[in-house]
Structure 1
């Protein structure tokens, strides 16, 4: 273990080569596709609907493996154990349901924006625009965070400031997205996924070698109570159990792969529905494999520092700092490894941001601009040019949001918790549209208002009144006596990354993990007992894993009930194209 981090916190020549190589490759792909196509909106936004299965599958996977996952997943298992890994089982359920429920409905419609379905189904343009606005703010807040957090890591190892890194990363991402369209997004995602995979595998391999093999890593983790996977408790106040984690995974990925514009736009970019199914299934295999790797990397890091842990010693201040610390401390001697790690963070952010930009260009163009008189009769080449301008404008907006992200502070987690309010009601709306044929627009509006308001209320209450999750024990018993007795000497040790970076980065992934129900049912029930004179604590103390499901269920129930009470509005299918 390094005696201090002062010697390894700066990039060397090889690190710059690795990092700049990723940036140059991304730009090169964008330039190439700018000159080989994208002459109309269909080509620009969907790759002409002629993309190949494998690159589209890898692109979907790359967007999922964002910088948030790169830092947040290892930090979660390092601090709380492997129970969260049951999310992969829920992922399988969610993706398979999306393949069966939504793909057969949406793919044949050849829509540019998924919100077109709502106008077709409920004959309400206002409902379509309402969902657009509901999704807009959370998307751009998340995008700003995606851009901001990795630049903190880069600023700590290079002479460039956070602000300079925001501009560099933002310009690179938005230029290749605007120039190259979906083809550039997909192929840069493939390159970036290779970088993320190489970095994650390297961490696991080095850790296993350091500790003495996979068996030894597992033995250490088991001794420290970090290998529990099958907690069969049904207590809704317990932060993670097998049931609530699987439920969250199923609902989360049913939403992501069933009704998300960002993902459906690429899934529908292949020529046939059979190929679209293969895209989803291939992506599912990759997601499960990468999730296992990332979760296990946190366990590997814990095993490496077992008995002399950097969190116990105060070298790091957040569980989500463990992977950056591990890379700089244990792998800094490998030529180019720090550069590969930062490139991995950047690659995750680039893939997520470019996908968001491309998909939101499609939504803004189709939902807002195309129906207007000024744009209705524009030529196809003119429409493609407008789409590129939209990409650049969105890029500027996200850069501005990234600068603003520096000021989020403690308010940020509450903001991100509320951002999740949109997902449950949105999924409920589309599920109702597909599976509840008698539900009309009056029921849909009522369900949307009630479920979104209810979910906003309880998530805000949980953020204010809920307890923080408890970390599993860490130890510094095997550290040299000086550190065990006196803690960390700040003159010798310095975190490789600023303390606020991993905290901020993991905030979105966690939603309310840091402000939700405690880890154990005992602690949760004790909390409820202390507040038993206030019944609302029974809502505020619920595990964050149940919130999205709760929003979806409330929407379906309210929408169905209101339709039954008010009387179903007859659907005239021949008028589906009219507002």
Structure 2
């Protein structure tokens, strides 16, 4: 199939997104952009958050990693489910009670202004790095499969895609993204199901027969039982729970959609539904990964890792499957990038610039300020995607989860300290604690995994727990008891 035809499919899909954006952004304002006027439908939010949570990394990297890790990623996913339930019954009630627009506003009242700014900056760094790593993977695949044939440089391809995203998020923000994410999640899941059915039919296998073939090939093993390994199941499940608490529960991008739902009861439904849906959906991605590796062995393909699924879909499947794959791939791309850009814009405007509190600007000036910030966020995306292009790693899922351990750990420690203690830290020292904890983690990780400080024992994704614990301990050392926490929360509301 010609690259020109595939490119026309991408353009047609983008025009559809623009139409949705035009329809949903009518009469939008800053409130629409930041939290969708708090009237989002919980079912749409839950369904759309599947696409945001998965992204192009899950679509390509999780199936590709089955050849190396089997179904071991399901250990982390079981932890995800625990994390989603904790968010629903611990964090969401807190956010709704305080009527937060930015969830980091909780830190300001609970700990102080510097704690608030520190939390916001750690979110900005965390989401910026994670979202651009995801964006890089999908742009890189589109570059190889379509855009190289036109002689378009990688940086131009990235710029074009970012301009596309700006065009449909510039006005509506969250109000638009709730609907575009629903569309994109539908396309992504449809692509997953169709590719799975095609592979089963092509290899003339039933589900039971394919699972037996995967078991015989060592592709379907889930639980790893060696405590010294980084993929030991207890470590992975715990890490999955804390990763979800961090990358969803205390992440402004994910939570601004949840708190845009009309009331707490419906927002809880959104999160609990997501917990169970994610187990099923990622299970399907792992199953697809097993089928891809069986297909590769049958056809004697050499592709592996992130390159396997694109190679099979574009070069070894019928043209209509290639079209479905490209549509599903870009459907996986946009939710992870558009929501991140909107959330980063929101966090900078609200948390760093204090836009909602500014009395020296009218609504029109505030809107122009927000739009300028949105453009600067897009520029930051461009620069970081180019950085990942130069790094060019074989499996981005590992990089993203590793980076999350360093950048989300301090946020985890800050929120855990605020929720589970009755102490208030010295606000002046909070930034120091939050920056020292990841540095200590770097040396722990280096000397344990690279230098073999503890023999065969390795640290894996539980690094985020260590980082959060170090932050929590540091906050304890610089804190003193508070007599009335409820009054602090009441002050934040008023």
Q: Do the structures match in fold with TM over 0.5?
A: yes
Aligned equivalent of 2:216: 223
Whole-Å Cα distance in 1 between the matches of residues 368 and 283 of structure 2? 42
Query: For the Cα contact (< 8 Å) 2:136–2:388, is it kept in 1?
Result: yes
Show the 5 A alignment for 1:17-96: 17-34=8-25, 36-39=26-29, 41-96=30-85
Superimposed CA distance per residue, residues 50-103 of structure 1 (whole angstroms, 9 cap, x where no aligned partner): 111111112211111211111111012232211221222212111111111111
Query: For the Cα contact (< 8 Å) 2:448–2:459, is it kept in 1?
Result: no
1:298 deviation in Å? Answer: 0.6
Cα 1:176–1:380, aligned 2, differ >3 Å: closer, same or farther? Answer: same
Aligned equivalent of 1:550: 466
Whole-Å Cα distance in 2 between the matches of residues 20 and 371 of structure 1? 35
Secondary structure at 1:377 match in 2: coil
1:146 deviation in Å? Answer: 3.0
Cα 1:380–1:77, aligned 2, differ >3 Å: closer, same or farther? Answer: same
Cα 1:90–1:319, aligned 2, differ >3 Å: closer, same or farther? Answer: same
Secondary structure at 2:11 match in 1: helix
1:148 deviation in Å? Answer: 2.9
Whole-Å Cα distance in 2 between the matches of residues 278 and 451 of structure 1? 35
Cα 1:462–1:33, aligned 2, differ >3 Å: closer, same or farther? Answer: farther
Unaligned runs of 5+ in 2: none
Secondary structure at 1:110 match in 2: coil
Does residue 354 of the first structure (1) align with residue 342 of the second (2)? no
Superimposed CA distance per residue, residues 414-471 of structure 1 (whole angstroms, 9 cap, x where no aligned partner): 89845531212211210110111224336855653442222232345567x27xxxxx
Cα 1:126–1:558, aligned 2, differ >3 Å: closer, same or farther? Answer: closer
Cα 1:415–1:301, aligned 2, differ >3 Å: closer, same or farther? Answer: closer
Superimposed CA distance per residue, residues 136-162 of structure 1 (whole angstroms, 9 cap, x where no aligned partner): 334323333333332222222333322
1:390 deviation in Å? Answer: 2.1
Show the 5 A alignment for 1:450-529: 450-461=436-447, 465=450, 528=452
Query: For the Cα contact (< 8 Å) 2:123–2:251, is it kept in 1?
Result: no
Does residue 328 of the first structure (1) align with residue 327 of the second (2)? no
Does residue 377 of the first structure (1) align with residue 360 of the second (2)? yes
Does residue 136 of the first structure (1) align with residue 124 of the second (2)? yes
Query: For the Cα contact (< 8 Å) 1:302–1:309, is it kept in 2?
Result: no
Secondary structure at 1:305 match in 2: helix
Query: For the Cα contact (< 8 Å) 1:446–1:562, is it kept in 2?
Result: no
Aligned residues: 483
Aligned equivalent of 2:245: 254
The structure 2 residue matched to 1:167, chosen from 159, 167, 184, is: 159
Cα 1:169–1:445, aligned 2, differ >3 Å: closer, same or farther? Answer: closer
TM-score by length of 2: 0.89
Secondary structure at 2:72 match in 1: helix
1:32 deviation in Å? Answer: 2.5
Does residue 438 of the first structure (1) align with residue 351 of the second (2)? no
Aligned equivalent of 2:271: 280
Does residue 407 of the first structure (1) align with residue 390 of the second (2)? yes
Aligned equivalent of 1:366: 350
Cα 1:418–1:192, aligned 2, differ >3 Å: closer, same or farther? Answer: closer
Query: For the Cα contact (< 8 Å) 2:413–2:472, is it kept in 1?
Result: yes
Aligned equivalent of 1:475: none
Query: For the Cα contact (< 8 Å) 1:19–1:340, is it kept in 2?
Result: no
Whole-Å Cα distance in 2 between the matches of residues 344 and 415 of structure 1? 21
Whole-Å Cα distance in 2 between the matches of residues 217 and 350 of structure 1? 32
Query: For the Cα contact (< 8 Å) 1:29–1:187, is it kept in 2?
Result: yes
Cα 1:142–1:418, aligned 2, differ >3 Å: closer, same or farther? Answer: closer
Secondary structure at 1:248 match in 2: helix
Query: For the Cα contact (< 8 Å) 2:84–2:274, is it kept in 1?
Result: no
Does residue 568 of the first structure (1) align with residue 452 of the second (2)? no
Comparing 143-152 with 44-53, greater Cα deviation is found at 143-152
Whole-Å Cα distance in 1 between the matches of residues 423 and 126 of structure 2? 31
1:569 deviation in Å? Answer: 5.8
Query: 1 or 2, which has the higher helix percentage?
Result: 2
Does residue 196 of the first structure (1) align with residue 188 of the second (2)? yes
Unaligned runs of 5+ in 1: 1-7, 467-527, 529-535
1:276 deviation in Å? Answer: 0.7
Whole-Å Cα distance in 1 between the matches of residues 459 and 432 of structure 2? 26
Secondary structure at 1:240 match in 2: coil
Secondary structure at 1:263 match in 2: helix
Whole-Å Cα distance in 2 between the matches of residues 554 and 453 of structure 1? 10
Show the 5 A alignment for 1:177-188: 177-188=169-180
Whole-Å Cα distance in 1 between the matches of residues 171 and 356 of structure 2? 25
Whole-Å Cα distance in 1 between the matches of residues 51 and 355 of structure 2? 33
The structure 1 residue matched to 2:91, chosen from 91, 102, 105, is: 102
Query: For the Cα contact (< 8 Å) 2:124–2:347, is it kept in 1?
Result: no
Does residue 207 of the first structure (1) align with residue 199 of the second (2)? yes
Whole-Å Cα distance in 1 between the matches of residues 275 and 246 of structure 2? 14
Cα 1:344–1:48, aligned 2, differ >3 Å: closer, same or farther? Answer: same
Cα 1:46–1:136, aligned 2, differ >3 Å: closer, same or farther? Answer: closer
